[in-house]
């Protein structure tokens, strides 16, 4: 699960995503279910540039790259 602040409210927003371990970090992805624009969680994550990543019972802070 990825949690980052909402772009407009600043309140924490969480979403379940798929991930892969990649070069000491995580690669996450999701879809907008056919929408011509990206999902809201992706916009929130890019704007915040940081998030909390939870895998099982482990939670850690993560910086957003790219």
Separation CA 57–CA 46 (nearest Å): 25
Give the pLDDT confidence of 34-55 residue by residue, as tens digits.
888 888 888 999 899 889 999 9
What is the Cα 64 distance to its own chain's centre? 8
Residue 66 confidence (pLDDT): 66
Tokens 């890019």 locate to 46
Domain that holds residue 12: 2-63
Who's near 6: CB < 8 A, 6+ residues apart?
Answer: 12, 13, 44
Report how many domains make up the chain. Answer: 1
The answer to pTM > 0.75 is: yes
State residue 23 phi and psi, 5-degree precision: 50, 45
Phi-psi region of 9 (alpha: psi -120 to 50; beta: other; left: phi over 0): alpha
Residue 64 confidence (pLDDT): 84
């Amino acid at each position: 699960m990825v949690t980052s602040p909402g772009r407009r409210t600043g309140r924490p927003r969480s979403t379940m995503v798929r991930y892969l371990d990649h070069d000491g970090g995580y690669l996450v992805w999701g879809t907008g279910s056919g929408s011509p624009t990206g999902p809201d969680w992706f916009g929130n994550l890019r704007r915040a540039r940081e998030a909390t990543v939870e895998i099982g019972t482990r939670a850690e802070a993560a910086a957003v790259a790219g």
